[in-house]
Homo-oligomer: A and B are copies of this chain.
């Protein structure tokens, strides 16, 4: 059961949680001021959308890199310039990767970063920044604080590398209990569904959580916000062709 792609899990773990943890991770490690900073975010998936929204909200100027034209167009419509890393690498104050890809930031890029640039990774592996390429004799590593290394070039230039390129939202921030609650509820429901499912419902394959359970996880968490759902009348449910208890959307719905 692929709970990782259920809606509530994706949005909370990837979008809403990262929107806060990028700020938290940067503050706890570097005390940097966000206002006025030039930030480059590589990748405009859920994580990238969260990071850019948070930083824009605090007065940073954010540029985005993307390979997918649909996500690139979303970045444009959300007010971000979309450039290639090569085009902007010399100007950025903070560089954040969240692509899920490897070697997005190479030694060649880091050679061109400006003095004092902060480099960190919010994606889902430690491969996005080619940290290995920084372990060469001419560069000096100086650990200035837990999870914070200064890499010093021969000319004195320093870049500030967080968590040695591992995920800063896990290494340098903490996960709010609300997000844990959403994830745990989703996983528990998946297990209950697998346990209770009549023989034959699931074969040896990977399944998405049934939408109704996804909706159930969401409904369990609404009371924390004193949110009150509207109920469909019989007439309305009939008009929409829906069951009053859900599911309320087709499977391809994007939220």
Contacts and interface: CB of A to CB of B under 8 A. Distances in A.
A131 B10 CA distance: 40
Interface in A163-177: 173-177
A108 to B, nearest CB: 13
Given A101-B240, A177-B31, A218-B69, A74 B228 contact: no
Interface string A56-86: 1111110001111111111111111111110
Interface in A222-244: 222, 224-233, 235-236, 239-240
B58 A222 contact: no
A184 interface: no
A59 B75 CA distance: 9
Nearest to A83: B228
A54 B56 CA distance: 11
Contact of A5 (B54, B103, B252): B252
Which of A174, A221, A225 is the most central at the interface, judged by chain B CB atoms within 10 Å of its CB?
Answer: A225
A100 interface: yes
Interface string A204-228: 0000100000111011011011111
A143 interface: no
A229 B81 CA distance: 11
Contacts of A194: none
Contacts of A161: none
Contacts of A24: 23-24, 27-28
Given A59-B78, A77-B59, A224 B67 contact: no
Interface of A: 5, 7-8, 10-11, 16-17, 19-20, 23-24, 27-28, 31-36, 38, 46, 53-54, 56-61, 65-85, 87, 91, 100-104, 127, 173-179, 208, 214-216, 218-219, 221-222, 224-233, 235-236, 239-240, 246, 248-249, 251-252, 254-255
